[in-house]
Structure 1
Amino acid sequence: MSTTRQHLDGPTRVPLAHRERVEWHDHAVNQLIAPGLGVLQVSTPDGTWVVPPHRAVWVPAGVAHAHEAHGPSELRTLCFAADVNPLQVDRPTVLAVTPLLREVIAALSRAAHVPDRDRPLTPAQRTNLERVALDQLHRVEALPLGLPATRDPRLRDVADLLTADPGDERTLAELGVAVGAAERTLSRLFRTETGMSFPQWRGQLRLHHSLKLLADGASVTSTAARCGYATPSAFIEAFRNAFGTTPGAYRKQALDI
């Protein structure tokens, strides 16, 4: 994996087409990434974060990452000095974005690309909005929505099978037969490497995949089936518990372009 250093000196706002990628890079500053439309998949060597419009992800300075858009998207970012860390975290973290923080991100990222004739923010106005953003970041809730990466070759093989088909209903024992590993070994490795049990990890994978399918335009019923949920109602409940909204409402927001 080749990583380039990208310089950031303020907010950014970049439209991304469906499936468009921003390849591996890092920054000397902390970055807050909040999609305005669609869904962004943020990948790091330690795992993957899928970020819908009502969420954001904090990426610490120096952490290599790449982006991929699902559905027409808009990459909105704010940056903060490496020693400014209101979340007190050292790894990418998904956040529940407050309505006020969402509007501040939108205003700052929009102002970064406003032509001079359209009265951009003054330095004082930008500083005030950045202070509001920091205040909100002290108040937001961190969400355990990342999908930790697997490193053991046997776990990677299991992860590859389920990534290719999240609706695969095989048990861990049956998957173990497919990859040549005992169920007990795989169960121990999942807890050791990801901090999750296998059912928790698979549940997270399915939720991540559902975000991308919905942003691609799939129906709620179709998404539930393709992600391995027994019924649409079971999917709706799991989705609401994880993301604070229903898949139908999320789909409408993600496709509202």
Structure 2
Amino acid sequence: MSPNRRPLLRLSHRERVPRHEHPHHQVAYPSHGVLEVSTDAGTWIVPPHRAVWLPAGVAHAHRAHGPTQLRTVNFEVGVPGFAGPAVLAVSPLLREVVVALTGRDDLDARRRADLHRVALDELREVRQLPLHLPTPADDRLRAVADALTADPADGRTLAEFGRAAGASERTLSRLFREEMAMTFPQWRAQVRLHRALVLLASGRPVTAVAAECGYAGPSAFVHAFRRAFGTTPARFRTGADAR
């Protein structure tokens, strides 16, 4: 069990935590707001009442979307965990354990150790959520990624993006599979979902989020969101489905 220097951190909208790393594993849990985590390998979006596992030694930075209350729990290197950063569903029990470890000053060492063991048991059972956007290495692929990240509603085809980036559709399609481990349509869908989570955190209504992210309409957005996360945007934002 590693001590937390700042187990509870309150961040304002768009506030950043500079790039840093830890000698221990860490679970970061935004009980309010949406947390963006960036590493050399890409970006993860962590909605409220979800968590992100950050392995020891992985340099990362945070950015808050909406007023964000961030709780962190540290674990010694060597405990079972995940090989890389991972966004996780959070069970009600794990949520209460994290809140206790980060919000109570009356816990003695034995009780804290017991709660850490409970947290590790719960982490073994949680599911990972598809909230990672890899960072491309190829310049042509990065040009496409940057364009879509800047405007997820951009409806150009891969061939049209390719003409602007100086690469054929076939080449870009291959690069998406090799570097991103997904197809172009899958990556576009991820970009739109990432932006949707950020906009929802800022309080934007579902109709506006659907339009700004390039969906055909609110119903198409809700359908895509439910297919990805098993719930509606409204329930996801409030954490009502977080178990």
1:28 corresponds, among 23, 27, 31, to: 23
Superposed CA offset, 1:65-111 (max 9, x none): 100000000111111111112x3x31111111111111111111112
State which of 41, 44, 54 in structure 1 corresponds to 2:39: 44
Which secondary structure does the structure 2 equivalent of 1:154 belong to? helix
- Judged with a 3 Å threshold, the aligned counterparts in structure 2 of structure 1 residues 251 and 42 are, in CA distance, closer, same or farther, namely same
The residue number in structure 2 matching 1:80 is 75
- Work out the number of aligned pairs and report it: 238
Q: Of residues 109, 116, 139 in structure 2, which corresponds to 1:153?
A: 139
How far off is 1:243 after superposition?
A: 2.6
The aligned residue for residue 109 of structure 1 is 102
Q: 1:218 corresponds to which residue?
A: 204
| Offset of residue 33 of structure 1 | 1.0
- Secondary structure at 1:71 match in 2: strand
Q: Superposed, which structure 2 residues align to 1:1-257 within 5 Å?
A: 9-10=3-4, 12-85=7-80, 87=81, 89-111=82-104, 114=105, 120-252=106-238
CA gap of 1:146–1:221, structure 2 versus 1, over 3 A, is same
Rounded Cα–Cα distance in structure 2 between residues aligned with 1:197 and 1:253: 30
What do the CA deviations read for 1:101-141 (whole angstroms, capped 9, x no partner)?
Answer: 11111111112xx4xxxxx1122221221111011011111
Give the deviation of 1:155 after TM superposition. Answer: 0.9
Question: How far apart are 1:160 and its partner, in Å?
Answer: 1.0
1:93 to 1:252, Cα distance in 2 relative to 1, 3 A: closer
How far apart, in 2, do the equivalents of 1:125 and 1:53 lie?
27
Segment drifting more, 238-247 vs 121-130: 238-247
- Write the letter of the residue equivalent to 2:149: T
Inter-CA distance 52–209: structure 2 relative to 1 (3 Å threshold) = same
Quick one: distance in 1 between partners of 2:117 and 2:238?
Answer: 32
CA distance in 2, matches of 1:251, 1:34: 14
1:65 maps to amino acid:
H
* C-alpha displacement of 1:253: 5.3
Shift of 1:232: 1.0
Maintained 8 Å contact 1:37/1:253:
no
**CA–CA distance in structure 2, aligned partners of residues 84 and 251 of structure 1:** 31
Contact 1:187/1:197, CA 8 A, preserved across alignment: yes
3-state DSSP of counterpart to 1:142: coil
- Per-residue displacement from partner, 1:215-249 (whole Å, max 9, x unpaired)? 11111011011111112112112212323331122
Counterpart CA distance in 1 for 2:123 and 2:164 is: 44
User: In percent, how many aligned pairs have the same letter?
Assistant: 60
* TM-score, normalising length: structure 1: 0.89
8 Å contact kept, 2:32–2:67: yes
TM-score if structure 2 supplies the norm length?
A: 0.94
What is the DSSP-based 3-state SS (H/G/I as helix, E as strand, rest coil) of the residue aligned with 2:116?
Answer: helix
Structure 2: runs of 5 or more not aligned: none
